Amino acid sequence: MNAKTNMLRRLLTLALTLSLICALAAPALADGTENDASALTDGTDGTEDDWSLDEELRYWYNFELENTNILPDAAGNDPEGVEAIKRELMQGRAVTAAYCSDQSVPGQEQETDYINIDTWAHYTYGRDTTAITHLVCIVGWDDDYSRYLFDPNLTNEDGSFIAAYFDDEGELNEAGQAAANWDRIPDGDGAWIVKNSWGSATSEEPNNYDWGIDGYFYLSYYDTTICSEETYDFDISASEGEGLEIIIDEYDLMTAFAYFGPYASDYGADEIVMANVFTASDHQMLRTVGVITAEPDTTVAVQVYRLNADAEDSTDGTPLLETPATATFEYSGYHRVGLRDYGDEDEAFAVDAGERFSVVVRMSIEDDTYVSAGASNSIQWLDETEGINWYAVGVINEGESYVGEYDADAEDYVWTDWTELVLEEKAEDDEIEYDNLAIKAYSDPIYTITVGDAAHGAVTSDHSGAIAGAAVTLTVTPSAGYELASLTVTDGDVTVAATFVSSDDSSGSSGGGDDDSGSTTTTSTTTTTTTTTTTTTTGGFTDVSSDAYYADAVAWAVENGITIGTGEGTFSPDGGCTRAQIVTFLWRAAGSPEAAGGNPFTDVQADDDAYKAVCWAYENGITAGTDGDTFSPESVCTRAQIVTFLWRAAGQPTADGDPAFVDTARDAYYYDALRWAYGNGVTSGTGGDTFSPDGVCTRAQVVTFLWRAAGEA
Give CA 103 to chain center in angstroms: 36
- 22-31: average pLDDT: 29
DSSP element (H, E) containing 81: helix 79-90
First to last CA, the chain: 85
Burial class (CB in 10 A: 0-12, 13-18, 19+), 94: middle
> How many beta carbons lie within 10 A of that of residue 23, not counting itself?
10
pLDDT digits (tens, 9 = 90+) for 697-712: 999 999 999 999 988 7
DSSP 8-state class, residue 425? H
pLDDT at position 512: 27
Amino acid at 129: T
pLDDT at position 307: 97
pLDDT for residue 204 is more than 70: no
pLDDT digits (tens, 9 = 90+) for 37-62: 333 333 334 444 565 667 766 655 56
pLDDT digits (tens, 9 = 90+) for 334-381: 999 999 987 788 999 999 999 999 999 999 998 899 999 988 888 777
Confidence class for position 284, pLDDT limits 50, 70, 90: very high
Confidence class for position 514, pLDDT limits 50, 70, 90: very low
Q: CA of 396: how far to CAs of 436, 437, 438, 705, in Å?
A: 6, 9, 12, 71
Instruction: Tell me the helix, strand and coil percentages in the chain, rounded to 5.
Output: 20, 30, 50
Confirm if 527 and 469 have CB atoms less than 8 A apart: yes
Confidence class for position 268, pLDDT limits 50, 70, 90: confident
- 398-403: average pLDDT: 96
Confirm if 547 and 537 have CB atoms less than 8 A apart: no
pLDDT at position 155: 96
Distance CA 43, CA 4 (A): 39
* DSSP states of 451-515: EPP-TTEEEEES-SEE-TT-EEEEEEEEPTTEEEEEEEE-SSSEEEEEEEEEGGGS----S-GGG
pLDDT higher for 513 or 329?
329
Helix (H, G, I), strand (E, B) or coil at 589: helix
Strands (E), 20-148: 64-70, 95-99, 115-116, 121-122, 134-142
Which of these, 188, 182, 184, 171, lies nearest to 79 by C-alpha position?
Answer: 188
* DSSP states of 527-560: E-SSS-----EETTEEEEETTSTTHHHHHHHHHT
DSSP 8-state class, residue 370? E
Confirm if 517 and 480 have CB atoms less than 8 A apart: yes
Distance CA 75, CA 363 (A): 29
pLDDT at position 538: 54
DSSP element (H, E) containing 305: strand 298-307
* Mean pLDDT of the chain, nearest integer: 80
| C-alpha triplet 116, 119, 121: angle, nearest 5° | 55
Rg (CA), the chain: 37
Helix (H, G, I), strand (E, B) or coil at 403: strand
Which of these, 184, 182, 192, 148, lies nearest to 167 by C-alpha position?
Answer: 148
pLDDT for residue 217 is more than 60: yes
pLDDT digits (tens, 9 = 90+) for 565-601: 887 788 888 888 999 999 999 999 999 999 888 889 9
Distance CA 525, CA 515 (A): 28
